[in-house]
Structure 1
Amino acid sequence: MDTVEIASRTAAVERTGGCLCGSIRYRVTGDPRVHYCHCDMCRRATGSAFAVLAWTSSSNLSWLSEEPAYRTSSPIARRGFCGACGSPLTLSYAAAEGEVALHVGTFDNPEGLEPQYNYGSSQRLAWVCCGVDLPHHDTEERW
């Protein structure tokens, strides 16, 4: 392996994304931890059968334009969204200070962000077939 190849492999991965209307843009460095979330809180927040979340350190996230509006969505979670178009953007937990999840669908190029496990598996809708072969983790939270 030559020096250029080593440098390119160790260079920080950078990804960008934003909301539907383009008012909010962000950059993330590093490789996030990606999973499906089937909990009822994520279903309601996204209006979908599940969420696909990319978790990263808050220090790896930079807002390139305005920051999202925030709402405390439960006693344990806060969600960021675009105040102009309503796109859900982030999820963070008080118990996991310093970590934030971005909705994978908001990334400009989400192809490389493949989920590695399922969360909230006991609340998975019976007709959801994606990721059934991945590891499953449960949650006790229900809202």
Structure 2
Amino acid sequence: MSASLEGRCLCGALRYRITLPVIDAGYCHCRLCQRSAGAPVLAWLTVPMAQFAWLAGTPVVFHSSEHSQREFCGACGTQLLFRRSADPQTVDVTIASLDDPEQLPPQYHIWRQSRIGWFETADSLPRHEDSGPDR
């Protein structure tokens, strides 16, 4: 794997680079992720803010709670980032938006208490009912 990863939105108006290493990568089953993606789960990677850079475009920001925001493409709607609104130390990036998402498989599942009953995965990754032991 190279020293960085790049990704983009569906239409290519937003492009970003992540400098490795990442902190972690996992599946989130929370209701906010489900509603924001229209999907039963989202796969995220986490890096320190200093390791993330926009290469092209400016995202639209939506404050999905009183303390966090999601950033997406205003042209095609692709959600790319999640982070705290005030003084973020890390940023979560959607793994599927990477140019090569195969390079970074998820390591765990979080917020399983919100899992949609008809959606189940057959992997053997650790499962946490809430944010997990290290969050």
Matching of residues 48-59 of structure 1 within 5 Å: 48-59=39-50
Q: Alpha-carbon deviation of 1:124?
A: 1.1
Aligned to 2:125: 134
Between the two proteins, the alignment pairs up a number of residues equal to 130
* TM norm structure 1: 0.83
1:78 corresponds to which of 54, 69, 90: 69
2:60 corresponds to which of 62, 66, 69: 69
Aligned to 2:10: 20
Deviations 1:80-115 (A, max 9, x none): 000111100100124872100111111000001111
Identity %: 33
Q: Please say if residues 118 and 131 of structure 1, whose CA atoms lie closer than 8 Å, have aligned partners that are also in contact.
A: no
Going from structure 1 to structure 2, the CA distance change for 1:28 and 1:73 (only over 3 Å counts) comes to same
Going from structure 1 to structure 2, the CA distance change for 1:128 and 1:13 (only over 3 Å counts) comes to farther
Aligned to 1:34: 25
Secondary structure in 1 aligned to 2:56?
Answer: coil
Where structure 1 has 5 or more consecutive residues not aligned to the other structure, the ranges are 1-8
Q: Alpha-carbon deviation of 1:132?
A: 4.8
* TM norm structure 2: 0.87
Structure 1 or 2: larger helix share?
1
Q: Please say if residues 24 and 65 of structure 1, whose CA atoms lie closer than 8 Å, have aligned partners that are also in contact.
A: yes
Aligned partner letter, 1:54? L
Where structure 2 has 5 or more consecutive residues not aligned to the other structure, the ranges are none
Aligned to 1:89: 80
Q: Alpha-carbon deviation of 1:51?
A: 0.6
Secondary structure in 2 aligned to 1:137?
Answer: coil
1:123 corresponds to which of 110, 114, 131: 114
Whole-angstrom distance in 1 between the partners of 2:114 and 2:26? 15
Aligned partner letter, 1:78? Q
